[in-house]
Amino acid sequence: MKADKLLIRNASQVVTCSGFAAKKGKAMSDIGVIEDGAVAVLNGRIIHVGTTRDILSRIYEEEYTVIDATGKALLPGFVDSHTHFVFGGYREEEFSWRLRGDSYMSIMERGGGIVNTMKATRESNYDDLWESGYVRLSDMMEMGVTTVEGKSGYGLDLETELMQLRVMKEIDEEHPVDVIATFLGAHAIPPEYKDRADDYIRYIIETVLPAVAKEELAGFCDVFCEKGVFSVKQSERLLRAAQALGMKPKLHADEIVTSGGAELAVKLNAVSADHLLRVSDEGIRQLAGSNTVATLLPLTAFSLCEPYARGREIIDAGCAVALATDLNPGSCFSCSIPMLIALACIYMKLTPEEVVTALTINGAAAVGRANTIGSIDVGKQADMILLRYPSYKFLPYHIGMNMVEITIKNGKTYHS
């Protein structure tokens, strides 16, 4: 076996997405295509990128395990930078209520929604959460995802929030896909704190956050900043407390109503502001002038029958956009990358190049990893995908179909 040395040669395209930071606005179109390209990998890291001719003149091919990628495109692995993939139970009934016309928020106000999954998660146990989470991660990997961000937020109490995060930590250690954990204790107000959002935020800040930090279970802290859930003020209080403990802020911002979530994200220099279906013009302007990635989740808009985020305008304004699935049991029970790509192009008017950037280097930036993943650059982790087709342009064109043939994670190959 020559598993530590891998050469992919004669790829019709190597799409590098080269870079070490999020790409904003027009720069999202620079994806760096090398025709008849090759990539050499040593011990899980990329050591050469170039044309096949160039690379073959620099290495001894016989030392390598070789993949002939003739007629196929090689891209960086996808980074799904916003998911809630560890949870107990399902909410299929609520989905049929929504089909009948009930809104997501009205179901939440009746005690369903996130609190419904909270109950199922509290009743679940470590092993069941581990098992179902692991399987979901494998489904994502089949579609070319090599790094996944996962949020807590279905425990809404100390014990269950910690359990969710510990499950993610163990899955990260055992599954080839990397898991980056985010603490989302402020996802909803649990029944014990009904009509006492301020008290709940205090409980999170004083009791849960320090425990999460002490065990080093999450590098990021997120909050559902939304009318009827947590206000801008409450969100700010929590995220500042998280920052003081070394966690970087993220926000569920302006998802259902315009509430200044994007502006708060910029004020706090958050890593990302996510959803943004109802972001204001001012919010877009501020995001464009910031380091905060605008993470758009078109599968959620589709599933909720809500208008899509203004993706085209957001990029044209100069923002860095990432795309993610938002996989969760309520608003979006899907981790379909092919469908996400189709929606982003057809309804949000992103170009195929912008979609590739949004799912790779910008997704990496949205989880603070643009230095190590998200592009095919020398020195980065060898996380790549080989498509069945000769061009990245097939991604939105072959609608809803998974065309990932091989996922390469840390230099190891996994066939879909």
- If the CB atoms of residues 78 and 87 are measured against ligand NIG, the closer one turns out to be 87
CB 234 within 8 A of CB 188: no
Using a 10 angstrom Cβ sphere, with 0-12 exposed, 13-18 middle and 19 or more buried, the burial of residue 274 is buried
Three-class secondary structure of residue 342 per DSSP: helix
For ligand NIG, give the closer residue by CB, 242 or 404: 242
Query: Would you give the distance in Å from CA 139 to the centre of its chain?
Result: 15
Distance between CA atoms of residues 29 and 19, nearest Å: 12
Rounded least distance, CB 114 to ligand NIG, Å: 5
Distance between CA atoms of 148 and 336, rounded to whole angstroms? 13
Judged by CB under 6 A, the number of residues near ligand NIG is 13
Candidates 300, 357, 381, 407; binder of ligand NIG (CB under 6 A) is 300
328 is a contact residue toward ligand NIG (CB under 6 A): yes
Given CA atoms 168, 171, 173, 175 in this order, what sign does their dihedral have?
negative
Q: Rg of the Cα trace of the chain?
A: 21
Scanning residues 73 to 132, which ones bind ligand NIG (CB under 6 A)? 84, 113-114, 117
Q: Which of ligand NIG, Fe ion, none sits in contact with 255, Cβ below 5 to 8 A by type?
A: ligand NIG
Q: Which residue is nearest to ligand NIG (CB)?
A: 330
Q: Least distance (Å) from Fe ion to the CB of residue 51?
A: 41
Looking up tokens 């985010």 gives: 182
Among 326, 354, 377, 383, the residue binding Fe ion under the rule CB under 5 A is 326
Of 147, 152, 325, 331, the one binding ligand NIG by CB under 6 A: 331
- Expressed in angstroms, the distance from the first to the final Cα of the chain is 21
Among 68-76, 165-173, 190-198, 325-333, which window interacts with ligand NIG (CB under 6 A)? 325-333
Distance in angstroms (rounded) separating the CA atoms of residues 341 and 78: 11
CB closer to ligand NIG, 40 vs 163: 163
Question: What track of x and - describes contact with Fe ion for positions 382 through 401 (by CB under 5 A)?
Answer: --------------------
Q: Closest CB to ligand NIG among 85 and 224?
A: 224
Question: Judged by CB under 5 A, which stretch of 101-109, 232-240, 323-331, 364-372 contacts Fe ion?
Answer: 323-331
Q: What's the per-residue H, E or C state across 89-124?
A: CCCHHHHHHHHHCCCHHHHHHCCCCHHHHHHHHHHC
Per rule CB under 6 A, is residue 252 in the interface with ligand NIG?
A: yes
340 vs 404, beta carbon nearer ligand NIG? 340
User: What part of residues 338-357 is at the interface with Fe ion (CB under 5 A)?
Assistant: none
CA dist., res. 138 & res. 177, Å (int): 8
Q: Does 326 bind ligand NIG (CB under 6 A)?
A: yes
Phi and psi torsions of 223, nearest 5°: -150, 145
Instruction: Report the candidate in 149, 79, 172 with the shortest Cα–Cα distance to residue 328.
Output: 149
Phi, psi of 334 (to 5 degrees): -155, 140
183 binds, among Fe ion, ligand NIG, none (CB under 5 to 8 A by kind): none
Asked if 329 touches ligand NIG (CB under 6 A), the answer is: yes
Minimal distance, residue 55 CB to ligand NIG, in Å: 42
**Which residues lie near Fe ion (CB under 5 A)?**
326
**Which residues lie near ligand NIG (CB under 6 A)?**
84, 113-114, 117, 224, 252, 255, 300, 326, 328-331
